[in-house]
């Protein structure tokens, strides 16, 4: 008798647990469907095709990838502006683990200035390369919004050059 009740309780528990998980997966799916999608690694050197750029609502631009400033590439800023998307900054040089170590204001402001020269507006949103972040850089959060790990969970994030953890076609589906 007691065993029967226990088995039933366990079965009900499993059912509730399953429903909760399903609910979480569905809400994640819909938040990714509804919230603005993003394109990372927007840079003249990262092979951004129109096909990828057209998937995003927000472009995360790298100001100086491989030491080439975006303002020095003829017509690039105008081309990106013509897409009429929201623009944010993605690293400064986007070197490996760039913001995984402490960066000072001088370092950061170089990116801000390049961004401003290119687009005529200062960035108000920032995402570090590879999402690597040390809390020593939290001072940036007082200047602008900083997108970290959870941003990539709740939004679809495409990558120029298809260089993300998941290829763009997977992001398109989920
Ligand atoms: Zn990146």
* Residues 69 and 152 grouped into a single domain: yes
Structural domains in the chain (count):
2
Ligand 1 centre distance from Cα of residue 94 (Å) = 7
Ligand 1 centre distance from Cα of residue 164 (Å) = 8
* Residues 70 and 87 grouped into a single domain: yes
Domain that holds residue 131: 36-173
Taking the complete model, does pTM exceed 0.95, yes or no? no
* Residues 124 and 169 grouped into a single domain: yes
* Residues 107 and 139 grouped into a single domain: yes
- The answer to whether residues 30 and 54 touch, using CB atoms and an 8 Å cutoff, is no
Query: pLDDT (tens digit, 9 = 90+) per residue, 97-141?
Result: 999 999 999 999 999 999 999 999 999 999 999 999 999 999 999
* Residues 24 and 82 grouped into a single domain: no
Name every residue whose Cβ is closer than 8 Å to that of residue 137 and which is 6 or more positions away in sequence: 99, 102, 103, 128
* Residues 93 and 8 grouped into a single domain: no
* Residues 100 and 40 grouped into a single domain: yes
Query: pLDDT (tens digit, 9 = 90+) per residue, 54-90?
Result: 999 999 999 999 999 999 999 999 999 999 999 999 9
Within 13 Å and on the Cβ side, how many CA atoms surround 131?
11
Ligand 1 centre distance from Cα of residue 29 (Å) = 23
């Amino acid at each position: 008798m007691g065993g029967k009740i226990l088995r039933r309780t366990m079965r009900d528990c499993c059912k509730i647990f399953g429903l909760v998980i399903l609910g979480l997966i569905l809400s994640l799916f819909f938040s990714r469907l509804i919230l603005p999608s993003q394109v990372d690694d927007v840079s003249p050197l990262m092979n951004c095709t129109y096909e990828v750029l057209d998937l995003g609502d927000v472009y995360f631009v790298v100001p100086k990838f491989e030491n080439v400033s975006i303002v020095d590439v003829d017509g690039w800023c105008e081309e990106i502006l013509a897409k009429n998307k929201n623009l944010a900054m993605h690293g400064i040089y986007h070197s490996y683990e760039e913001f995984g170590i402490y960066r000072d204001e001088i370092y950061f402001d170089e990116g801000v200035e390049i961004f401003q020269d290119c687009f005529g507006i200062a960035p108000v949103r920032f995402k570090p390369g590879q999402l690597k972040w040390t809390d020593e850089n939290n001072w940036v959060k007082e200047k602008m919004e900083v997108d970290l790990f959870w941003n990539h969970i709740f939004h679809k994030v495409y990558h120029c050059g298809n260089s993300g953890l998941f290829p763009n076609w997977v992001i398109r589906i989920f």
